[in-house]
């Protein structure tokens, strides 16, 4: 279960929380322009846009959870269990792509959401696992640039592409139902409210923030969708990089899951393994992990993007605490 957000100040930012019950050895991964992507049914793509994101690397192949490319296009895959359905057979005349290849397929070739939408017109997501012991995840995807966002879902009824004016994605139900659900909260407000209950009663404001009474506070995917949309769409932020990045982490902080609050039938707990934010215009990826609240950054443009080898940075997971009054430091 996860939450993805697209957000714009002076620059365009894209990121997500990853909420699972365990880590799979995720790494910040930069794929340079001539890394040879091998697509199972479409053959090799040896020259493409460079990209950065967080991935599990298997057999030197980046299984991206999310990423942005050097042109400023971002894409993330989020759990869509019970609704996702992939084609069993390839079809002539279509781009037959496995879901594990979908993010690099789009980010390698497309500079904008408009270009991605065009490519989606001939796409089939085919049930081809990476390996037998690595089955496909049931996912749907958000694709974003500074002009807007779309959501892509492959279900039993086929491939659907939705405009996403909220620029938010969580998990179930299908995106059209998630978006429609916001109608239930149209009376919410970030500002003070007046008495609409009854003119026969004198009702007074007793606290700031009462306009948000009724905003869902739980960890279900629908509750997180509503909460993330309300926080993001009402967010006020300065234009600078540090202010924008800080605000982005505060937005996703509204939907982070503490360990122990979302328990699975297996007895394990789902929690926010990491939160990431990428300045898609500058190619800088920022992240925090569950045990490390200090923001860490990797700048794609400090790497050799003309190379052919993956560039990988293990995520810093230990808490980084600055003791302000330590001996030898200035308070």
Catalytic residues: 2
Q: Which of 46, 98, 54 is CA-nearest to residue 75?
A: 54
Secondary structure class of 281 (helix, strand, coil): coil
| Token pair in block for residue 116 | 């991605």
Q: What is the DSSP letter of 301?
A: G
Give the count of beta carbons closer than 10 Å to the beta carbon of residue 206: 6
- Contacts of 251 by beta carbon, 8 Å cutoff, 6+ apart: 5, 7, 228, 231, 232, 235
Q: Residue 302: which region, alpha, beta or left (left: phi > 0; alpha: psi -120 to 50)?
A: alpha
The residues, any chain, with a CB within 8 Å of residue 216's CB and separated by 6 or more, are: 222, 223, 224, 226, 227
């Amino acid at each position: 279960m996860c939450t993805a957000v697209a957000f714009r100040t002076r620059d365009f930012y894209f990121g997500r929380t990853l909420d699972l019950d365990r880590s799979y050895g995720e790494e910040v991964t930069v794929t340079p322009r001539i890394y040879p992507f091998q697509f199972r049914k479409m053959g090799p793509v040896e020259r493409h846009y460079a990209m950065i994101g967080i991935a599990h690397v298997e057999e030197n192949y980046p299984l991206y959870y999310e990423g942005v490319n050097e042109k400023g296009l971002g894409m993330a895959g989020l759990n869509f269990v019970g609704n996702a359905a992939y084609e069993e057979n390839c079809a002539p005349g279509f781009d037959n792509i496995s879901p594990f290849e979908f993010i690099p397929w789009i980010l390698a070739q497309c500079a904008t959401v408009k270009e991605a939408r065009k490519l989606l017109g001939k796409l089939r997501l085919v049930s081809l696992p990476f390996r037998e012991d690595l089955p496909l995840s049931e996912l749907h995807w958000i694709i974003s640039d500074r002009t807007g966002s779309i959501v892509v879902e492959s279900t039993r009824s086929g491939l659907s592409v939705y405009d996403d004016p909220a620029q938010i994605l969580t998990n179930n139900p299908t995106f059209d139902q998630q978006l429609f659900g916001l109608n239930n909260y149209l009376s919410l407000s970030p500002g003070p409210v007046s008495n609409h209950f009854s003119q026969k009663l004198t009702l007074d404001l007793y606290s700031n923030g009462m306009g948000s009474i009724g905003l869902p506070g739980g960890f279900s995917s629908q509750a997180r969708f509503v909460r993330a949309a309300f926080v993001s769409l009402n967010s006020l932020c300065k234009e600078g990089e540090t202010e924008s990045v800080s605000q982005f982490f505060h937005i996703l902080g509204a939907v982070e899951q503490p360990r122990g609050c979302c328990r699975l039938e297996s007895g394990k707990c789902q929690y926010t393994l990491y939160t990431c934010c990428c300045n898609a215009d500058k190619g800088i990826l920022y992240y925090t992990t569950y045990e490390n609240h200090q923001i860490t950054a990797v700048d794609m443009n400090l790497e050799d993007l003309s190379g052919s080898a993956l560039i990988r940075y293990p995520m810093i997971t230990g808490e980084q605490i600055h003791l302000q009054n330590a001996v030898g430091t200035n308070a």
